[in-house]
Amino acid sequence: MVCLLLACTPAIAEDTLHAHVRSDAADIRALIHDAADRSPTVRALLEEIDQSNVIVYVRVRIFPSQLLEGRIGFIASTSRTRFLAIELACPRTRDAQMATLAHELHHAVEIVRAPWVVGADTLARYYETIGVVTDPGRDRLTFETEAARETAARVRRELMASPPAITNPYERRR
């Protein structure tokens, strides 16, 4: 889901393998890393974002609706860099969060491919052409694309075919 008027504070990237997709939370960095390990689709999305002028911050939150799995929003832009935020719903299973991450990363790539999208207004105009409005009655516009839904479904299949490695629960996560 693409959500406009998202306000958040950029996170600090530590130990991030993909420099343009960041989180200040170790468990989210591990989620991104594990998703990339298990899904060629997620790897490709991360690589495309890493080659762009877009920085994506990822965090989890509890949404007012259990139906909302995640969203992406525009934070800000400079003459050189555009900043986005992905929020993933919690609590969810790890694989569900990975599929949602892929869905939202797909939206990030849609934005990467549209260099004229530099704020909430241009984001809304762009998604009016490539997506559909999903909830026009709320205080913010939300959009969806079929391509992002297909990406999430593909990643779910990839995750089922690539079960997580069994790790020592006492080992410190990345």
For the chain, which residues make up each domain, given as ranges?
2-161
Which amino acid appears at position 153 of this protein? A
Q: Which of 9-23, 64-78, 90-104 has maximum average pLDDT?
A: 90-104
Residue that wins the pLDDT comparison between 132 and 147: 147
pTM, rounded to two decimals: 0.84
- Phi, psi angles (nearest 5°) of residue 3: -125, 135
CB-CB neighbours of 19 under 10 Å: 11
Listed in sequence order, the residues at least 6 apart from 147 whose beta carbon sits closer than 8 Å to its beta carbon are 106, 110
Please state, for a pLDDT cut of 90, what percent of the chain lies above it. 68
Do residues 20 and 36 lie in contact, with contact meaning Cβ atoms separated by under 8 Å? no
Average pLDDT for 85-97: 94
Q: Which two tokens stand for residue 129?
A: 């052409």
How far apart (Å, rounded) are the C-alpha atoms in residues 137 and 114? 27
Q: Model confidence at 65, in pLDDT bands (50, 70, 90)?
A: confident
Q: Model confidence at 29, in pLDDT bands (50, 70, 90)?
A: very high
Cα–Cα distances in Å, from 45 out to 22, 57, 67, 136? Answer: 14, 14, 25, 28
